[in-house]
Structure 1
Amino acid sequence: MNSDNPAPIVLAPKPSLTYRLVSNLLVFPVFRGLFRGSTEGNERVPAQGPLVVVANHGSHLDPPLLGHALGRPVAFMAKAELFEVPLLGPLIRACGAYPVRRGASDREAIRTATARLQEGWATGVFLDGTRQPDGRVNQPLAGAALLSARSGAPLLPVAIVNSHRALGTGRTWPRLVPIQLRIGDLVPPPTGRRRADLDATTAELQRRINALLDQAGPRP
């Protein structure tokens, strides 16, 4: 490789008009107003280039809150059926969501997410894969580490504090408790794609996110 010709930096996609409207007119007042939301560590978020955003998962509030609080669009997987719903389909697509077919293999989902990273997106991954009643990282999966290893994108651990108490599993109506997002330091990609490498990075992400959750913070 010629060191005089470094690889170009992949710029992050510019937020669409729909994304800006949803973020500013819907997510902002809900997060900042109703839930007295706050963020900590925004200076750690790279402004450009591919990024794997890794977080705990406590409620359905988490995807829009992450995209709003990080200051750049974050793409998430969504069931393909949702893209066929009038109004909802175009809306979530404009906000960076990408479809995954019901029954699709994990390999296909990884390929789709990797393509998003190559386009310069920040791609969001919930480390447990599903919502956790206690809002912590309990049984982390290696998908985020594999995405990072395949794409070379760094990993950004984010702790979402109190969303499981606001609208967690089993709740129909939200509780208006303070929600805070705490952004940690970047984690480099795994050293390889071997299972041991992926598991080591996954365990480190779990440790960092749970440590961020354990910091003293807002609780009514």
Structure 2
Amino acid sequence: MLALPTLSPVDLAQWMLEAFGTQLRVRCERPLPAGEGCLLVVSSHRSFLDAPLLVRSMGSPVRLVCHHYLGQVPVVNELVRQLGGFHLGPAGQGWSTLFRQASRYLLSGTHVAIFPEGAQLIAAHSRPGQVATFRRGFAHLALRSGIEHLPIVPVAIVSKREASGPLVPLRLLSLFDGSEPMFQKAGWHPYVLYEQVELRVGAPRRIRPEEVARYRGGEAAVVTAALAAELENAARELTLPGGRHPC
């Protein structure tokens, strides 16, 4: 089996971006909270380069919630591990375990990043700046974390120039995760290689005590749906031209 050199997550992320010739610019709506200890980052997701982009850009250690199948593919699983990835189980199993693990990272002061769109765009043809429906797992995580006023930070990864094309048949990936509906479809899993890309960071949105109370009081579905829709809309707005400034 191919042995990969052991690098720090930031060094590995930088090496990957340089290897693919990716030019990155990071832009923020406002400065990220300083001295908070942790952020929950929710990002759009069209390319395997999104993970190293986040690791390279956040300025502090960040752990990445990854799709189950990435932990099953040789070499890729080691890259993901070195970048700081940890995995959800097949077919969305293991959410409780993942919540506990993510909460430990947050409580220790480590940022956690998640791609709420899942495989919707990375496994299908998509447009630069496109944002798909945000699933609610990150909202459950935020509301169960036990961290008061946890800041959730929306991120949009907007390609300015890229190369793309077919990579592997989708059904081939079912060998690594037969529970993923996307991998039961005909067609090809595309690749997207960013040549020039902007990582646009939105204003932090803090979890409010009344939301936690409603979540625990039997309104979990309503509260998480509203939070997912709000952060999805924030990511969409980040894709529009605007007056953001270098972070």
Does the pair score TM above 0.5? yes
Q: Which residue of 1 aligns with 2:157?
A: 160
Gaps of 5+ in 1: 1-15
The 1-side partners of 2:221 and 2:49 are apart by: 32
Displacement, 1:200? 1.6
Q: Any conservation in 2 of the 1:74–1:123 contact (CA below 8 Å)? A: yes
Q: Does 1:54 align with 2:31?
A: no
* TM-score, normalised via structure 1 length: 0.73
* TM-score, normalised via structure 2 length: 0.66
Q: After the TM superposition, which of the residue ranges 41-50 and 135-144 deviates more from structure 2?
A: 41-50
Q: Which residue of 2 aligns with 1:8?
A: none
Q: Which has the higher strand share?
A: 2
Displacement, 1:157? 0.6
Q: Any conservation in 1 of the 2:117–2:132 contact (CA below 8 Å)? A: yes
Q: Does 1:98 align with 2:86?
A: yes
Q: Which residue of 2 aligns with 1:75?
A: 63
Q: Which amino acid aligns with 2:204?
A: L
Displacement, 1:28? 5.1
Displacement, 1:84? 8.8
Residue deviations 1:196-220, cap 9 Å, x none? Answer: 2222221111111101102269xxx
Q: Which residue of 2 aligns with 1:109?
A: 98
Q: 1:156 to 1:64 in 2, by over 3 A?
A: same
Gaps of 5+ in 2: 1-5, 167-188
Aligned length: 197
The 2-side partners of 1:72 and 1:27 are apart by: 18
Displacement, 1:162? 1.5
Q: 1:197 to 1:86 in 2, by over 3 A?
A: closer
Q: 1:164 to 1:106 in 2, by over 3 A?
A: farther
Q: 1:47 to 1:163 in 2, by over 3 A?
A: farther
Identical positions, percent: 26
The 2-side partners of 1:174 and 1:52 are apart by: 26
Displacement, 1:166? 4.3
Q: Which residue of 1 aligns with 2:11?
A: 21
1:171 to 179, 185, 190: 190
